[in-house]
Amino acid sequence: MAQDRRPTLRIHRQRMRRLSSTCRLRFNLSLTDSSALPAPYVIDHMGTVLAAKGIDDPGFTSLLDLQRRDPKCWVKITGLERASAVGKPFHDALPFARALIDNAPDRVIWGTDWPHPNVKIMPNDGEIVDLIPLYAPDPAKRHKLLVANPEKLFGFAKM
């Protein structure tokens, strides 16, 4: 039986209201009731997508729908090594990153997932960085992913 995470989300909602903070979430793609959170939230590891399930996986399409309809929803483009079914160079995970970026280019951020705990295949961070232009080929979207969106979400000074 799947664990019901709604009580956990209720606790996060209460804490976020008090702190006026951003919440980073890592959860199974089937859990999509996070839109009830009162502040911006970041879904980590592209929602723990699994490339083997394909781009039309109901969990992934639910994530795209949540990202499209909830302006508080941000997605971190990270963990392609976790998502990949075939291993290096992790190209089977690229369509998922690309779809999330194209779906809401103003609400995606990038991360390395360093130090890569609990992975089957340890990635080289240089190789992970080399993937960015493959899933974010448009320079304007890439700038948003790497610079403008983190500035906006976390309140960093503009560079």
pLDDT per residue over 85-115, tens digit each?
Answer: 999 999 999 999 999 999 999 999 999 888 8
Q: Which H or E run contains 122?
A: none
pTM, two decimal places? 0.82
For residue 129, tell me if it sits in a domain: yes
pLDDT at residue number 7: 58
Q: Is residue 19 part of a domain?
A: no
What residues act catalytically?
113
Residue 10 — φ and ψ, nearest 5°?
-60, -45
Residues spanned by the domain of 84: 29-112+122-154
Domain tally for the chain? 1
Look at residue 34 in the predicted model and tell me its pLDDT: 60
Residue 37 belongs to a domain: yes
Domain with 149 in it: what CATH number? 3.20.20.140
Is residue 77 domain-resident? yes
* Domain contains 72: yes
Q: How far apart are CA 8 and CA 55, in angstroms?
A: 28
